[in-house]
Amino acid sequence: MLLLNPREGSGPLYRRVYQELKLAIHAGRLRPGARLPSSRGLADDLGISRNTVLLAYEQLSAEGYVTTQGRSVTLVANTVPSRSVQLASAAVGNEEPYLSSAARYLTKDPAVPPSGSYATRPGIRYDFRYGLPAVREFPRETWRRLLAARARGNTRDAYGYASPAGYAPLRHVLSDYLRRARGLFCEADQIVIVNGSQQGFDLAARVLLDRGDGAIVEEPHYPGSRIALEAAGARIVRIPVDQDGLDTSRLPGADAGVRLACVSPCHQFPSGVVMSLERRLALLDWAVRSNAWIVEDDYIGEMRYEGHPLEALQSLDQNGRVIYAGTFSKTLFPALRLAYLVLPHALVRPFQAMKWVSDRFAEVLTQQALTDFISSGQFERHLRRSTARNAARRSTLIKSLQQLCGDRIEISGRDAGVHLQVWLNGVAPGEVGGIIERAAQAGVGLYSTLPYYARTPRRAGLLFGYAALTEAEIRAGIRKLATIL
């Protein structure tokens, strides 16, 4: 009698019988050509319905584990792998897999986050992690209603394939907003909706660069753009940033084979400095002379706390050399995964084609809800409220740092964005890890600036995101930091 115990485990009973029989075949207890019990006999032995056994046999037959002869004979198939072959296959599977050069690079780059790295850190009460907006203040009920209304009202056509450029009404309301709020020269047909700004950087690298082409990144820099460029095989050219932004006097000559420059002129990451008008014009002139492109990463250009938001670099572009990248991750919430590129006319078709190859199109329902959120005025109202709250939080953070840490720290990037870069005077870069560890033990989440520098700076620095914290939480967190310092 075949020994089976299908009553243990979970799932439908026929699946458990099927699994037990399949395990017996793989383990060699049922060899190729062996005859299985009749369905009626096995059902009687197990005390179950014959139909349950028949379903299990049918599944085994469909997957090629057994064959049938006549109406009542079921045999183990001769083609089932033996146990020795399976063990050999498992051994091969444990070897180091062959990977492309891009995959080898990405798995080793420390800036590529491992799985779960964005999860909430246990024991951290005051988390100064950069990039977290105040999700608890987002009008979630309004967003839920917009999503539900679209889901109920969509026609059958809305559930089919869509354009790689994105939802057309969203591109129209975005072009109106960008012309009004950011000073851009753009039409709806110049916009491509992407799944986060990271996909935008990846598309730019793949559309505009061949392996070995030069690509400029700022020093310090945002790792996400640099990683996309290097994964595409670009030769990275680092240009230092000072108090006026990217040092355009260091730009390479027109014959250097540099095809792309990634910059954040309105609020450089992570330093927070603003690129001067003189250098903006010099960068645009360099792009024309070098037949190169500029990716303008305007990741948080709307958030400025002294005066109006600065106009984008794209608004000065008279020759169609700037690719403007904007995102909703910092202004709404990261899980939305919607961003956009504003492209020169000559690049619209190539970017749409590469987007189609990548993932066909961004998810439509959230694009529809976002269209309604913007066109109803909710987006700009939320932006005004967020700006006011973030201005107060920023002021609280600066005052707390100055009062509690004094001349032990130096702050940069004060009047825009959602983070501060803070230098620790008299602290060597190698010591910052110990400070971060002691802060974590005290419930404070701190983050080093080292990942954003190719060359180690002369002193330790910390990056303080504050948008997700209340003013009381900011003060409490800085008091604990001051004690540690």
Contacts of 268 (CB under 8 A, 6+ apart): 218, 241, 245, 246, 274, 275, 413
Q: According to the model, what pLDDT value does residue 7 have? A: 67
- What CATH number matches the domain at 152-380, 3.40.50.300, 3.40.640.10, 3.65.10.10, 3.10.20.740? 3.40.640.10
The domain spans of the chain are 1-93, 107-134+382-484, 152-380
C-beta contacts of 307-312 below 8 A and 24+ residues apart: 309/181, 309/182, 309/266, 309/416, 310/266, 310/274, 310/416, 311/182, 311/183, 312/182, 312/183, 312/184, 312/265, 312/266
Question: Residue 246 in contact with residue 277, Cβ under 8 Å?
Answer: no
Q: Do domains 1-93 and 107-134+382-484 have the same CATH topology?
A: no
Q: According to the model, what pLDDT value does residue 366 have? A: 96
Does domain 107-134+382-484 bear CATH number 3.90.1150.10? yes
pLDDT lower than 50: segments of the chain? 85, 87
Q: According to the model, what pLDDT value does residue 414 have? A: 63
Which class is domain 1-93? mainly alpha
